[in-house]
Amino acid sequence: MDQRLVLFAKTILTMDRPRPIEDGFVLIQGSRILRVGKRQDLYLTPSLRMLDLGDTILMPGLINAHCHLDFTNFKGKVKYQGGFREWLRQMAMKGREMTPADFKNSVRQGIEESLAYGTTTLCDVATSWESYPLLRRSPLRSFVFFELIDMAQPSTALYWKSFQDRLKHLVHSEPPTETCQWGLSPHTPFTVSKDMLQSVKRYLNDHRHLLTTIHVAESGEETWFFKKGAGPIAERLKVLNPDWAIPRGTTPVQYLSQNGWMPKLDIGVHLNEVNGNDLKILAKNRTVVVHCPGSHRYFGHKRFQYEKFKKQGITVCLGTDSLASNQSLSMFREMRLFQESYPQISAQEVLSLATVKPARALDGSHHLGQIKPGYLADLIGIPAPRTTNSKRTVYDHVVNYRKPVSFSMVHGQPKFRLASSKKK
Ligand SMILES: [Zn+2]
């Protein structure tokens, strides 16, 4: 039987109860939380290991619902000059210059930065596939989505066959673990062909437990392509793949729906350009939407319609995207940027976008993102404020926190960190 550990902290934000617990405890056995409450209500037994975190705010570990660790070392290296398709082309060119060792270094840097800034669960879209073995051995909990793009492939059938062979080999030699699962990510509805979408859909019918994610409705160029079958995306596709079926009179969401993909899509990323009908489709299919505030700002996309998603009951969560279009992998920074755009949204709700909400997409049995009995012991701690300000809640303090975390735990395994002065 696993030994039990009790953590004490000045303040505990459970994200389950409406109010913080002052002078509280969390009792953990193995990878799970057994109990949470006030210190005075804990009956101590001699076999209990104890860790007093002192003046710490203890909360659920943060969940980064979308990133690409492959591109951590692309920070500041791919310039965006107003054309989204052109930016994607430059990313692909830069990617071709990378060696497997470069990708490994990039992934390692990303893992380190994510852990330092409080991420305990990370959804990674794997282009090079180097992240899967590294994340599998890392202290992070991860969901690795192997990416599919066939826009420049001479044969979709051959590409899909070699993708499956490679996948089979990889997951046979490195099977998923309790903290590392894998899924599939068709890149976008305009870089993946209709045939490819159908093949992946059939594969998913036989592998129903697999999670999926797709970048959808990110840019104005994508909207134009699906509406008119024209613009920079259409021009590029005609050069790369003259037989490509160019859509017209639709939207990216409706196109996926027409191809039977919406019931298969767990996590839709971006959704910056949606109309009323798209929102209804997303709500009906219970698609979880990831908004990436840093990346959104970098590209200067249309305002993300958070209020409309919320009104339709669509779950929204946050992600960093890659450092090719962002400055940091800190989810605290994403929360802060989100709050700058939506100052009327409470800091408690903002924190839910990096804890409770993404857990809905990732964990069917709801065992992530909250501190409550039966949940996984994925926790982080940050220093409590020295002075209290009646206008600022503890949630405001969290959302505006800029340093590395002082404590983290994934799957019941504690990690300690020295707070440095490096701010993000
Ligand atoms: Zn992305």
Q: Kindly report, residue by residue over 245-266, the tens digit of the pLDDT.
A: 999 999 999 999 999 999 999 9
Residue 151's Cβ-side half-sphere holds a number of Cα atoms within 13 Å equal to: 22
**What is the Cα–Cα distance from 201 to 178, expressed in whole angstroms?**
25
Give the pLDDT of residue 424. 61
Adjacent-strand bridge partners of 145: 125, 183
Residue 349 alpha carbon to ligand 1 centre in Å? 24
Give the pLDDT of residue 78. 79
Choose which CATH entry (3.40.50.2000, 2.70.98.10, 2.30.40.10, 3.40.140.10) describes domain 4-60+369-416: 2.30.40.10
Give the pLDDT of residue 421. 46
Residue 213 alpha carbon to ligand 1 centre in Å? 10
Residue 27 alpha carbon to ligand 1 centre in Å? 37
What are the C-alpha distances in Å from 326 to residues 27, 73, 228? 37, 11, 30
Give the pLDDT of residue 3. 82
**What is the Cα–Cα distance from 266 to 143, expressed in whole angstroms?**
12
Residue 222 alpha carbon to ligand 1 centre in Å? 14
**What is the Cα–Cα distance from 201 to 372, expressed in whole angstroms?**
36
Residue 214 alpha carbon to ligand 1 centre in Å? 9
Residue 292 alpha carbon to ligand 1 centre in Å? 9
Residue 199 alpha carbon to ligand 1 centre in Å? 22
Residue 26 alpha carbon to ligand 1 centre in Å? 35
Residue 125 alpha carbon to ligand 1 centre in Å? 7
Residue 188 alpha carbon to ligand 1 centre in Å? 10
**What is the Cα–Cα distance from 287 to 271, expressed in whole angstroms?**
11
Residue 42 alpha carbon to ligand 1 centre in Å? 44
Residue 165 alpha carbon to ligand 1 centre in Å? 25
Residue 276 alpha carbon to ligand 1 centre in Å? 24
Single pTM value for the model: 0.95
Give the pLDDT of residue 364. 66
Which stretches of the chain score pLDDT less than 70? 1-2, 364-366, 416-424
Residue 105 alpha carbon to ligand 1 centre in Å? 19
Residue 268 alpha carbon to ligand 1 centre in Å? 10
The token pair that represents 103 in the structure block: 């990708």
Residue 256 alpha carbon to ligand 1 centre in Å? 18
**What is the Cα–Cα distance from 217 to 161, expressed in whole angstroms?**
28
Ranges assigned E (strand) in 338-403: 379-383
Residue 215 alpha carbon to ligand 1 centre in Å? 6
Surrounding ion ligand 1 within 5 Å at CB are 321
Question: Which CATH architecture group holds 62-362?
Answer: Alpha-Beta Barrel (3.20)
3-state secondary structure of 73: helix
Q: Would the CA dihedral through 84, 85, 86, 90 be positive or negative?
A: positive
User: Which residue ranges make up each domain of the chain?
Assistant: 4-60+369-416, 62-362
Phi-psi region of 349 (alpha: psi -120 to 50; beta: other; left: phi over 0): alpha
Residue 187 alpha carbon to ligand 1 centre in Å? 9
Residue 131 alpha carbon to ligand 1 centre in Å? 15
